[in-house]
Structure 1
Amino acid sequence: MQNDIRLGVLLPTGQAQWGEGTDPRELIPFALRAEELGYDSLFANDSLLTPRIETLTMLSALAAVTRRTALGTGALLPFLRRPVQAGHALASLDLLSGGRLLVAVGAGFPGRFGRPLYELSELPWADRFRRLDETVALWRRLWTADEPFSFRGDLLHLDDVPPSIRPHTPGGPPVWLGGATPAALARTGRLYDGWLPYPPDPADYRTGLTAAHAAAGEAGRGPEAITPALFVSVLVDDDPAEARARMDAYTRATYGLPLDELRQIQAVLTGPAPEVAAGLRRYLDVGARHLVLRLGGLTLKQQYDQLERIAVIRSLLH
């Protein structure tokens, strides 16, 4: 692969992806196999609405046993946690992993996967984006402070905040933003270190990245300040019809949506390895550089199978 292209995998931390009777501790050797196969990053997503291993707990378990792969949140929902405590946990995780942490964050989305989480967190849905930006600003201050400090935002007001343990990464781990609305693109350009969307059309990825770069330029930042990533669901099978049927079963179990509906809102690629590689190549051609792959498998055995099949695709992405 080209030196600037990275291939990551979303760990199957949700109980729906383990298969009945699976010991979730098997996720550790799964992650180690991914590292052995040459994957560049291991991501864990975040939710309270479906049973899953908590994001930072999963990555902390991997920090001690992996050596090379980046460890990413995809995407962390900061409103589920107290801001200062979350910042301290992230600093600790970056330190214990030797500076391998990537923090992709989101503010939640309308519908059953967004607003109910705010109700569980006892926070208002309104001003969620402002709260996210202020939380990240607080973290960055926390990660660099030498003395207690005060933080004054529109929503967060804190006094005498004690300094956190210093992250391994100077200034703290990079923070990426998920989302592709015009407002999210502007905020990515102005405030964040990377962009992790999942547009179903590569043309929309190109348009979004161009907008993020323009916003970065207006803020006095260069395009190199933003890592262009992509979140995409994949399932490799030599039989196109079988690949589609299996991914449909996966999306129904994971999202409660048929494949055709999910494909309207998210990037999804299925079929033989050359077809999936060609689909990924289309996103690389419009600027994506860090591909985070969700594997379409409803048992850990199926997840392993996809892990091995997709590793072979690396050679097709030149």
Structure 2
Amino acid sequence: MRFGILLTSVHDATTDPRQQVREHEELVRTSEELGFDLMVCGQHFLGSELRYFQPVPWLTHMGGVAPSMRTATGIVLLSMVNPVEIAEQMATLDVLTDGRAVFGVGLGYSPHEFAAFGVEKGSKVKRFEESLALVRRLWSGEVVDFEGEFFSVSGAQPSVRPLQQGGIPVWIGGQAAGAVKRAARLGDAWYTPPFPTHTELRGLRELFLTTRAEAGLPLDGDFPVRRELLIAPSRAAGLEAALERYRARYEVYKKWGLSGENTPVEDGAELRADIEDRFILGTAAECVDQLGQLGEDIGMTHFVYKPHWPGLSHRDAMAQLEEFGSQVLPELAS
């Protein structure tokens, strides 16, 4: 098992943006020292509650801070952005990180983002699939003639291409059955978000593998997984710590319109059970056991860890990262 660090946003515009730069620099520098293999950065537009800097320039800079780590977009909203532009941006990232880029992509879900780009939600799947096909053609090195419903290219042979032979690996995110099947058919891996329960995750993994097998595609590729994880003196203490962080983050997801995310946010038995169904919680040893068992069950190749939460101080997040990196990561990496 290998390990990634998620460079997520916990600030809005009231925080000096240079603070966010410094915090993420410290995060990736420490992660590299602890043995993390990967840094992951997502994409949102027009967010007022949380400030998302755009992933390709952000990862380009952070890749220079921790040059041994791979860089992954997790995820680019491919149903909204222009495929020609993102193909060349990702190729540039791959060159600048010496062939260590991963292209994580997904549909997106926020109505205000689709509206800003003039994209009707009903067209997002077609736009996504067409865009991905064009991106891969533009990375091929061959002359590209492409006539799609949304994008067209004639006689193009871009000089801006990835360093990795055959193109950049494509990880497709999503939590619904349709998204998992799409990842199996069109991607090199399914990049799972943290929203499915542990049981749901196992079922969706089986769906991914079945779909790959039916299409005659390899079954031994990467499987990067995001789970929320909190180290605490006990599982009960971890649950209490998770309650506050959970509400702060998932209220934003709900406000942004994440489809299918009907999780409770009011304290009570239902919320606590929901957290336990999705989180890895407890002492470092308990987290090793839980994460190790889940990894064996589903064939996880990468665990993507998120130490930052809204309302949690950077110092406390770094303490969690160092405890994870010194007590959990070595046990599972070996």
What is the CA-CA distance between 1:140 and the residue it aligns to? 0.7
For 1:315 and 1:23, the matched residues in 2 are separated by 30
For 2:272 and 2:113, the matched residues in 1 are separated by 23
| 8 Å contact from structure 2 (residues 239, 272) kept in 1 | no
| 8 Å contact from structure 2 (residues 10, 308) kept in 1 | no
Query: What are structure 1's unaligned runs of at least 5 residues?
Result: none
Equivalent runs, 1:1-318 vs 2, <5 Å: 5-15=1-11, 23-26=19-22, 27-48=24-45, 49=47, 50-109=50-109, 114-147=110-143, 149-197=144-192, 198=194, 200-224=196-220, 226-256=221-251, 258=265, 260=271, 263=274, 267-286=278-297, 287-297=299-309, 298-311=312-325, 312-317=327-332
Query: What are structure 2's unaligned runs of at least 5 residues?
Result: 252-263
Aligned length: 308
What is the CA-CA distance between 1:20 and the residue it aligns to? 7.9
For 2:247 and 2:54, the matched residues in 1 are separated by 22
**TM-superposition CA deviations, 1:78-112 (whole Å, max 9, x none):** 23422111110000001110111112111023xxx
Aligned-residue RMSD, C-alpha: 2.7
What is the CA-CA distance between 1:302 and the residue it aligns to? 1.8
| 8 Å contact from structure 1 (residues 142, 163) kept in 2 | yes
For 2:180 and 2:196, the matched residues in 1 are separated by 16
One-letter code aligned to 2:98: G
Aligned to 2:260: none
For 2:10 and 2:99, the matched residues in 1 are separated by 26
Aligned to 2:256: none
Q: Percent identity?
A: 24
| 8 Å contact from structure 2 (residues 239, 275) kept in 1 | no
For 1:6 and 1:280, the matched residues in 2 are separated by 12
One-letter code aligned to 2:90: L
What is the CA-CA distance between 1:133 and the residue it aligns to? 1.7
What is the CA-CA distance between 1:242 and the residue it aligns to? 3.9
**TM-superposition CA deviations, 1:12-52 (whole Å, max 9, x none):** 34426x98897122121321111011011111121122312
| 8 Å contact from structure 1 (residues 76, 106) kept in 2 | yes
What is the CA-CA distance between 1:209 and the residue it aligns to? 2.1
TM-score (normalised: structure 2): 0.83
One-letter code aligned to 2:92: S
One-letter code aligned to 1:34: S
TM-score (normalised: structure 1): 0.87
For 2:201 and 2:153, the matched residues in 1 are separated by 38
